[in-house]
A and B are shown apart, each in its own frame.
Chain A
Amino acid sequence: MLVLALHGGCQAVTEKPVDARLGEDDVVARARVQTAMQEAIGVPRINLARDAFGSDSLLTLEPGAFAGFGKPDTQARMPGRPEQFRLQTLDGHCLLLRVRTGQSIPLVDVLCQPVRP
């Protein structure tokens, strides 16, 4: 929850971010969100669906699988939880919430639309 100070009347209002999504064909926005997620968790590559965040504001990431002859099984017995991000909007700005830590990452030059409940 963010507290926004209103410049005009020395008042403070409390607003709550709402879940958001990206436009269907907004390739640029999707790439920026992808970069923000990679930087947030410090990994070189995240593979996203073409319509990531297009209909659902919550996105879950998992380690890649290692398939094939002679490849080990890395996913077989996993304690803990996957990494998750939630796309939100607040006051016209797009935010990326890292669910595990509560870190809210402002997304610059990314347009997102509130998800209607």
Chain B
Amino acid sequence: MVKEGDVIMDNLARAFRTGVTSALIGALVACGGGGGGGSVPPAAAPAPAGFDAGQFQPSSQFKNLCAAPRSGSGIPDRPGTTTDENNWLRSWSNELYLWYNEITDQNPRSFTTPDYFDRMKTSALTGSGSARDRFHFTIPTAEYEALSQSGIEAGYGAKFVITSNLPPREVRVAFISAGGPAALAGLVRGTRITSVDGASVADTSDVDTLNGGLFPDGEGETHGFEVILPGETVVRGVTLVSAEVTVDPVDNVKVLNVSGSDVGYLHFNSHIATAEAQLVDAFRFLAAQNIDDLVLDLRYNGGGFLDIANETAFMVAGANARDKVFEEIRFNDKHPVTNPVTGAQLQPDRFHETTQGFSGPEGVLLPALDLPRVFLLTTARTCSASESIINGLRGAAVEVIQIGDTTCGKPFGFYATDNCGTTYFSIQFQGVNALGFGDYPDGFGQTAGAVQTAGCRVSDDFSRELGDPDERLLSTALTWAATGSCPVGLQAMEDPDGIAIDKPGQYEARDDGQLLVEPPFPGAVLRE
């Protein structure tokens, strides 16, 4: 039997991991504090009855009061009702949701809990007409709690990107890890996946089959695929067996000589913990090469740890960022001084000049390129922490030249919070740079509504490997580095649906002649 003290420590442990310390402390207070074994839930505290619009009880009063309480050691659930769960959502959202005052206050007795959570968000739109809050979701806690060793996953050693999320869907191979099952089966960047275990990628209603095959849960799973290699039309059958694969968040580091200048290239695809050591190695190499410019390829980087974004930005800018603010997190106006989740005092994060200990020793001086400008390769999958790099560098007056498509537009974040077996994700803070700017819900780029950046809008080029100087995004960056402008003949325009179309010219050639459509919500994509 687990003692209550152990339960508390376990919960606090998880709280630290997910960052919900104060929420859990609140929960623990609500749980009472003494006596009792962990397997016998204490009696529920009486919850206030009735609904008084605009009046909110502390969320701790409803925490862990569950319509269907779970049992087992370490489970804090107590018997409650759906209304209790909804009341917790209502109060918690009122306390922490970034736009709490834009929530329409509705009677928690009138809705199921999933429906009620859906209503706990703003209905405001961005400048381009998109929903401002596109990042409001839940995950079963049992699924969310599973942890993995950083950099290790069960898969095929292939990064799949969903280039069209709705029928007709399209899935492509973005890049391949050498020696993995996908590489051994002959898959290469740009390969189109047309079916998974007999289900048509384009139009099946059975997305579970697609997800199960593309993103296996464990090793040793065998799945059948039909694929079309770049430049071909023939459909091939391929069988892949999932294996333990090592993810390299940083790869393909090289120096290209362009018109007498040395231009570094670095593909950085995820802000996971193992990225820190790999980034340090990569930037050490680039610093030793004394490069003139850097192309940082973030096109598939959906984010991750903000501290790693901070370190990356410093390694680009070096002396240009020293002692400057990288980012400051702001909560709603109820919490101007203290982080309401961790209890820490809010203060700006300056650019890190030393390692933070994510995948190596802490406190080691970071290498730095001291560049006054950087080229960033982006798509709509460039999101969150990757956008922090853009915003942080711009705030430090480092010139950012953006090549590719508009980023996803996510200056927001949250602390995942559990209640009654569901983990809730609700926007709680916004990151702003040294200039106090963080308003980019339509992303950075050259499209309407986006924060306008210098650069060229071009679509992803699956016909060439990443790092190939002729690959469209890299080629465009190299042209700008040499000439100071987009390549001749390249202009982007928009069709009525807002899909980027390259004008005819040197960039019209595509491996399959099709336009690629970025998913409206890149967060729905991919394993990192």
Interface, chain A (partner B; CB < 8 A) = 40-50, 52, 58-84, 100-101
Contact = CB atoms under 8 A, between A and B. Distances in A.
Interface string B355-394: 0111110000000000000000000000111001000000
B17 A73 contact: no
Contact of B147 (A43, A52, A72, A76): A43
B478 interface: no
B13 interface: yes
Secondary structure at the B interface, as helix, strand, loop or mixed, is: mixed
Interface stretch (B185-193, B303-311, B446-454): B303-311
Interface stretch (B287-295, B318-326, B410-418): B410-418
A78 to B, nearest CB: 5
B147 A78 contact: no
27 contacts: A40-B13, A42-B74, A49-B244, A52-B149, A62-B147, A62-B150, A63-B146, A65-B526, A65-B527, A69-B162, A70-B207, A71-B211, A72-B137, A73-B523, A74-B144, A74-B416, A75-B304, A76-B135, A76-B303, A77-B303, A77-B413, A79-B415, A80-B305, A81-B307, A81-B357, A82-B305, A83-B17
Interface of B: 9-11, 13-14, 16-19, 74, 135, 137, 139, 142-150, 152-154, 162, 165, 169, 207, 210-211, 214-215, 244, 246, 271-274, 302-307, 329, 342, 356-360, 383-385, 388, 410, 412-416, 425, 431, 522-528
Contacts of B148: 46-47, 61-64
B219 to A, nearest CB: 9
A63 B18 CA distance: 9
Contacts of A101: 13, 16
A44 to B, nearest CB: 6
B215 A68 contact: yes
Contacts of A62: 147-150, 272-273
Interface centre among A59, A75, A77, A100 (most CB of B within 10 A): A77
A43 B211 contact: no
Contact of A79 (B9, B19, B153): B19
